[in-house]
Structure 1
Amino acid sequence: MKEMAGEDTVQQVKDKLSIVEVISPYVKLTKAGKYYRGLSPFNKEKTPSFYVNPERGSYYCFSSSQGGDQFSFIQAMEGVDFKGALKILAEKAGIEIVYQGSAENRASKDRVERLREAMGKAEVYFSTALGEGTDAYAYAAKRGLTKETIAAWNLGLAPDGWRSLLESLTSEGFTLPELTAAGLVKEADEKRGTFYDRFRNRLMFPIRDAAGRTVAFTGRALSPDDQAKYLNSPETDLFKKSEVLFGMDRAKDAIRQRGFAILVEGQFDLILLHQAGFTNTIALSGTALSTQHLSLIKRYADNLMLCLDSDRAGLAASAKSARAALLAGMRVKAIRMPEGKDPADIVSEDAHAFTNLAKDAKSIIEFFLAVLSAQEKDETRLLRAVEGIVLPLVVAVKSSLEQNRFIDIIARAVNSTPEAVRRALPRLEVAPEEKSPLSVSTLSGSAVPSSVLEVRRGMVIAVIQAYAGTALADRLKTEYTRITGADDSLDLPVDERALFEAGLTYGETPDQHAGDELLQMFEQTVLSAKLNEATKQLRTAEAQGDQESITEAMHTFRALSAQLATLNSVR
């Protein structure tokens, strides 16, 4: 097979796989005129708002205002970057990707692939070792995991030996440097050159990235004498703690459908919640919630529900995580856990009890007000706690209206006034939101237009591009050039929403006069804009007493007025 790379490979994938082929496994599509239609994979809905244009190789979801091509769809659904989407689609199309570049870059990619192979082999080794008669299996069952759940999450056992995994993988051709780089073995500090298994006598949880590839492990100690109850893989070329959330590969679809993610701390918390039906749950892997974590979550939802421990450390983690999420523009709630209980305890005893706790979740501001009010009976200490914990969260809230609502709530809770609370808000620097670039105005005005003229110009251009090569498009081009005196803006990029709305408006096979009403509206707007400009010029000439300019401006004004009157009479 011919080896290609870069843009050639992307086009080759597009030529081999139609967008309908790519999307159909995720969305049930039915023919609707020139498009295909289905229920949004991004939101819950009863009326289909998701459209696919096979001619352009694009899709648009009206309920979530997002669209793109095959690659952006896979990025959204699988939680991968463009390279990840290219890899998935190239494999589906049977196309080999050979990335051009230096020998050093190719060697680096080969090295990463070897690490992935080693992690895959290690996962098989651990899962094979976890027999039903082992102490590790009995421990997992005792914690409430069913046989089906243990298999579904591919839990494993790291045997109680110093070199069990090392010997198994080296016998399959992996080198000590490769196994060390994968975080599977380590070198003895006191005896250089001696290597041993990093995980020993532990129940093993594979950690996967959003695309479902195993990148690390967490091992739960089986011996009470082990100092570290939980042991995580070190950071490697595959595993960056600040970028990976445990369970995201299995939770992303539920997060997208339900519109929010539940964040917990531990592996057992997460798996037991999934087992009980809370499949939109994700967990941290031994680190604080990072901006990269938040970016990953926001691919699927803008709402986060924290369910962390109720002890002092857990509350501190909740406050830190909440502030980061608020600064990222997310809406944050928190579940108030009973004293001394974690999610695994609650759901193991009664799944309905956790359901009720989740239903009673409060906004993060109200959550901390309730917790602090219960903890601090002294009014002065309560005020200090509110100033130190709650007010920084209010400052992090993006919406001014929401801020005002929270200020009123705080004022009532501490028996103060909204003005006093507002004066007490800390002067914290909040990163400004990045502004999205605007494309040509869309039919629905989803991008903010500079004027009515730009809206209607965008409508005409969208129809021309949506029906390229048809009599309708040819007529619109001719009339656009006549009306504006130029055609240099006809190839400007148009928002996907506008293109899909054009197709929905004019149907599958419109005749050449289908856009005549749009043309009349556009011409009327162009003439009105010219008339406004002529009026300004006339007033300027009159103010300057320039008779020649007054005569010229008056002539233009009368001519445009006559054209506009004629056009209006036709309509």
Structure 2
Amino acid sequence: MGLALDVMSAAEREQIARELLTECKPARKAGKLSANCPFHSEGTPGNAFFYNPEEDYGYCFSCGQGGDLVSIFNAVTGRVPDDPEGFKEFVARYCKEGAEKLRGQISRREAQGWTPKKAELPPASWGDKALEFVVQANAELMNDEERLAQLLRWGITEGAVRELGIGWNDETTFRKFTHWGLPYEENDKGNERCIMLPRGFVFPGFRRGVPVRIHIRCEDPDMPDLPRYFQIMGSSNVLYLFGERKASVWVVVETVRDAMLLWQELSPLGVGSMAVGGVSVRPDTDAERILRSAEFIMVALDNDDAGARNSWHFEPWNERSRFSWCQRYAQASRWLVPAGIGKDAGDLPGAGVSVLDWFMAGVPAHIRRRLLRRQEEIRGGQNRG
């Protein structure tokens, strides 16, 4: 949100962080604070979460979640990081003296509106190490019948595993920052920081054949505090893109696994899929160009409060400046997985529901007719073959 960075000094931000965070103390690296993570319950509290008052950003090296002071406030008060009610409460509690400046900030944001940012991709050295890891994990998975069967229960075939580079990491390991091409950085104990690679399914995203973002679906029973989908340190926050960039129809979902399933089922019809990899992640300039030229965008974020808030925003005090999918893109429409089945597209196969049928039910009639004709052409070609 950037509010605290704009209307407060670094000293004021530090004071509020010390008030909000548990076991907050100066970190070994000057200018930072270490504390218990506000975003998840730690089995071994401390030494993983750090907040930088100068930059107004905190990050947990255990769960992989981060955010600014407003996000931390929301987490501490039991809200999701981008909760608008928490934003307003933060303003009322901490920004009284900066209210005039805040009103000016909101007015400027309303005039300017939200704008996409150019993606910051990982350094080439990180990409090289990430590619080695992905190739190794994919080879491991292709020889693991049990894990392939688990993916098939989720609807993902062996062909998709091979094509998309999905893998399996059999053991939680830690790699030093510099071994993965990242700048040297120390933890609170004075040792070099490490990248965690949890045990679980590896889902990579590529740009020009090189991994730029990787999530691991954690399957380590000894690490229950980790989020279900853990983003590897050093990954970019670009959207996962699957399909031809010139596709006219796109489906936007939260997890990369769901986007891969949709690509598997819909790409023969020329439909692309995107995963944000975190409900508050926004399109970069590359994704913005694709979405702007699309004929139709199906917004299938999870069927929950966070998915709804990021699909639409109705706050009159923030409606122009705050991003939401269905207000940013006039050709976008929200389409839910029924609550009786689950909350996302990945729940469809387990319920015996066709991904294609679910998708077709949510597209406009003229697009559905065109896609059905394409489907008949594909079937006709297969029959002739």
Instruction: Give TM-score scaled by structure 1 length.
Output: 0.36
Cα distance, 1:147–1:233 mapped onto 2, change above 3 Å: same
1:127: Cα distance to partner? 1.7
SS at match of 2:333: strand
Residue in structure 2 matched with residue 192 of structure 1 by the alignment: 190
- Report the residue type matching 1:303 in the other structure: F
Question: Where do residues 371-410 of structure 1 align in structure 2 (5 Å cutoff)?
Answer: none
Task: Confirm or deny: 8 A CA contact 1:162 1:196 kept in the other structure.
Answer: no
Task: Confirm or deny: 8 A CA contact 2:201 2:216 kept in the other structure.
Answer: yes
Residue in structure 1 matched with residue 202 of structure 2 by the alignment: 204
Task: Confirm or deny: 8 A CA contact 1:265 1:284 kept in the other structure.
Answer: yes
Matched, 1:315 2:308: yes
Question: Where do residues 445-524 of structure 1 align in structure 2 (5 Å cutoff)?
Answer: none
Residue in structure 1 matched with residue 141 of structure 2 by the alignment: 130
Residue in structure 2 matched with residue 213 of structure 1 by the alignment: 210
Residue in structure 1 matched with residue 282 of structure 2 by the alignment: 290
Pick from 236, 239, 243: which aligns with 1:245?
A: 239
State how far apart, in whole Å, the 2-side matches of 1:233 and 1:203 are: 12
Cα distance, 1:178–1:305 mapped onto 2, change above 3 Å: same
Q: How many residues align?
A: 230
Cα distance, 1:177–1:192 mapped onto 2, change above 3 Å: same
Q: 218-227 or 192-201, which moves further after superposition?
A: 192-201
SS at match of 2:348: helix
Cα distance, 1:289–1:139 mapped onto 2, change above 3 Å: same
SS at match of 2:133: helix
Pick from 266, 272, 278: which aligns with 2:255?
A: 266
Matched, 1:344 2:333: no
Residue in structure 1 matched with residue 375 of structure 2 by the alignment: none
- Report the residue type matching 2:276 in the other structure: L
SS at match of 1:130: helix
State how far apart, in whole Å, the 1-side matches of 2:209 and 2:308 are: 31
Q: Name which one, 1 or 2, has greater alpha-carbon Rg.
A: 1
State how far apart, in whole Å, the 1-side matches of 2:179 and 2:293 are: 34
Residue in structure 1 matched with residue 129 of structure 2 by the alignment: 118
- Report the residue type matching 2:196 in the other structure: R
1:144: Cα distance to partner? 2.1
1:200: Cα distance to partner? 2.2
- Report the residue type matching 1:116 in the other structure: G
Task: Confirm or deny: 8 A CA contact 1:302 1:331 kept in the other structure.
Answer: yes
Residue in structure 2 matched with residue 507 of structure 1 by the alignment: none
Matched, 1:306 2:299: yes
Residue in structure 2 matched with residue 357 of structure 1 by the alignment: 361
Report the structure, 1 or 2, having the larger strand content: 2
1:316: Cα distance to partner? 1.6
SS at match of 1:280: strand
Residue in structure 2 matched with residue 229 of structure 1 by the alignment: 228
In structure 2, runs of 5+ residues without a counterpart are 1-117, 315-321, 366-385
State how far apart, in whole Å, the 1-side matches of 2:332 and 2:144 are: 43
Task: Confirm or deny: 8 A CA contact 1:306 1:335 kept in the other structure.
Answer: yes
Cα distance, 1:291–1:218 mapped onto 2, change above 3 Å: closer
Q: Which has the higher contact order (CA 8 A, sep 6+)?
A: 2
Matched, 1:280 2:272: yes
Task: Confirm or deny: 8 A CA contact 2:313 2:324 kept in the other structure.
Answer: yes
SS at match of 2:332: strand
State how far apart, in whole Å, the 1-side matches of 2:149 and 2:189 are: 35
Per-residue CA distance 1:320-368 (angstroms, 9 max, x = gap): 599544554542212132114221222552324313432369xxxxxxx
State how far apart, in whole Å, the 2-side matches of 1:328 and 1:176 are: 37
Per-residue CA distance 1:213-232 (angstroms, 9 max, x = gap): 31121000113552221101
Cα RMSD, aligned residues only: 3.6
Residue in structure 1 matched with residue 28 of structure 2 by the alignment: none
SS at match of 1:219: strand
Per-residue CA distance 1:428-454 (angstroms, 9 max, x = gap): xxxxxxxxxxxxxxxxxxxxxxxxxxx
In structure 1, runs of 5+ residues without a counterpart are 1-80, 82-108, 167-174, 362-571
SS at match of 1:198: strand
- Report the residue type matching 2:211 in the other structure: T
State how far apart, in whole Å, the 1-side matches of 2:188 and 2:313 are: 38
Cα distance, 1:224–1:297 mapped onto 2, change above 3 Å: farther
Matched, 1:157 2:168: yes
State how far apart, in whole Å, the 2-side matches of 1:176 and 1:271 are: 29
Cα distance, 1:213–1:282 mapped onto 2, change above 3 Å: same
Task: Confirm or deny: 8 A CA contact 1:264 1:306 kept in the other structure.
Answer: yes
1:155: Cα distance to partner? 1.0
Task: Confirm or deny: 8 A CA contact 1:204 1:218 kept in the other structure.
Answer: yes
- Report the residue type matching 1:350 in the other structure: V
Residue in structure 2 matched with residue 20 of structure 1 by the alignment: none
Per-residue CA distance 1:37-64 (angstroms, 9 max, x = gap): xxxxxxxxxxxxxxxxxxxxxxxxxxxx
Cα distance, 1:335–1:198 mapped onto 2, change above 3 Å: same
State how far apart, in whole Å, the 2-side matches of 1:269 and 1:329 are: 22
Task: Confirm or deny: 8 A CA contact 2:291 2:297 kept in the other structure.
Answer: no
- Report the residue type matching 1:252 in the other structure: E
SS at match of 2:361: helix
1:195: Cα distance to partner? 5.5
Q: 278-287 or 146-155, which moves further after superposition?
A: 278-287
1:123: Cα distance to partner? 1.7
State how far apart, in whole Å, the 1-side matches of 2:236 and 2:323 are: 22
Task: Confirm or deny: 8 A CA contact 2:292 2:329 kept in the other structure.
Answer: no
State how far apart, in whole Å, the 2-side matches of 1:131 and 1:329 are: 39
Matched, 1:139 2:138: no
1:308: Cα distance to partner? 1.6
Per-residue CA distance 1:94-130 (angstroms, 9 max, x = gap): xxxxxxxxxxxxxxx9x93323222222222222232
Cα distance, 1:356–1:121 mapped onto 2, change above 3 Å: closer
Task: Confirm or deny: 8 A CA contact 1:262 1:305 kept in the other structure.
Answer: yes
